[in-house]
Amino acid sequence: MHRPGSGRRPWTFYALAAFFGLYVLFLYGPMSAIFILSFQGPTGGLTFPMNGVSLHWFGALFGQQRTGDFAGSFTRSILLAVIVLSITVAASVMAGLAFRRRFLGSTLVFYMAIFSLIIPGLLLGLGVGLMFQFLGIKPAWYSSALGAQLTWTLPFGLLIMFAVFSRFNPFYEEAARDLGAGYGQTLWNVVLPILLPGIIAVALFGFTLSYDEFPRTLIPIGSRNTLPLEIWAMTTNVTSPALYALGTLTTAVSFVVIAVALTSIALIQRRRTRRGTRTDAGD
């Protein structure tokens, strides 16, 4: 038995620590195998052991086309993610503002938004593809695939904005109006700056959800792939560690995006609490 203050940890601590260790291994083990193998030597294969260490396969990505259309799909993915991000942020912020009051059909709109979260993605993508075919419009990444991704990111953005607005004190708006700000001025000078960290979070979600979206995008993508679809295609015809290099590279992009978002949120928070410490303290 563990006695408080005896300085020794109970056996449950070690059991849970071991369990946690397994969890971490399970989570990062497969990913690290891919990271390591992406630095395989020029003569190495798809599996261990490593046959030297090199950046050869990263170079191969940008070289000849036998590894697939990496540059094109990467550009499309980034562009699509930015478009999705912009629409998600704009729509979620406006919806968040609207949903602060009940309006005619607000419950219906809300449930419809949530509904699109729980429909299986592949089916939803199939539906979008079928509809485009029925209407005689050629599916493409910037139309049908964009729409399919938005069914995923918009409800997410909306839910985040609900959380953000639930902590937003409406007295700030009243104070602004009391001090002579119009509706537009209040929104621009008070509401949006205060909500900025939450808005960045929505943007981050919009970007990353789009950047690695697969099931909804698969069918309505048209003839030119986004990066996840291209990687999927490559697994069937590329038999070199270039595939791993691609995985490492795209993961790095995701990390950079997340780091940028988190850093900017942290900077905003710090600016709000630390600025002006150059004046002396106390009263």
Q: Which is nearer to another protein, 189 or 251 (CB)?
A: 189
Q: Is 169 in the site for another protein (CB under 8 A)?
A: yes
Identity of the residue, 6 or 178, whose beta carbon is nearer to another protein in the bound complex: 178
Under the criterion CB under 8 A, does residue 190 sit at the interface with another protein?
Answer: yes
258-279 burial: b if 16+ Cβ within 10 Å, else e: eeebeeebeeeeeeeeeeeeee
> Shortest distance, CB of residue 269 to another protein, whole angstroms?
10
Q: Does 278 help bind another protein (rule: CB under 8 A)?
A: yes
Residue 142 DSSP SS3: coil
Binding status of residue 266 toward another protein by CB under 8 A: no
Asked if 175 interacts with another protein (CB under 8 A), we say yes
Nearest to 96 by CA among 177, 190, 150, 160: 160
Q: Quick one: tokens of 71?
A: 């540059």
Least Å distance between CB 18 and another protein?
Answer: 43
Write down the least CB distance from residue 206 to another protein, Å. 23
C-beta atoms surrounding 169 within 10 Å: 9
CB 122 within 8 A of CB 218: yes
Q: Which 193-212 residues touch another protein, going by CB under 8 A?
A: 193-194, 196
Between residues 138 and 271, which has the closer beta carbon with respect to another protein?
271
Interface with another protein: number of residues (CB under 8 A): 30
From the DSSP assignment, how many helices (H) and strands (E) are in the chain?
12, 0
Tell me the angle at which helices 144-166 and 121-135 cross, rounded to the nearest 10 degrees: 130
179 binds another protein (CB under 8 A): yes
Considering the rule CB under 8 A, would residue 231 count as an interface residue with another protein? no
Residue 189 is encoded by which pair of tokens? 């000078």
Q: Which is nearer to another protein, 9 or 272 (CB)?
A: 272
Tell whether residue 111 is a contact of another protein (CB under 8 A): no
Report d(CA 213, CA 219) in Å as an integer: 12
Interacting residue ranges for another protein, rule: CB under 8 A: 169, 171-172, 174-182, 185, 189-190, 193-194, 196, 268, 271-280, 283
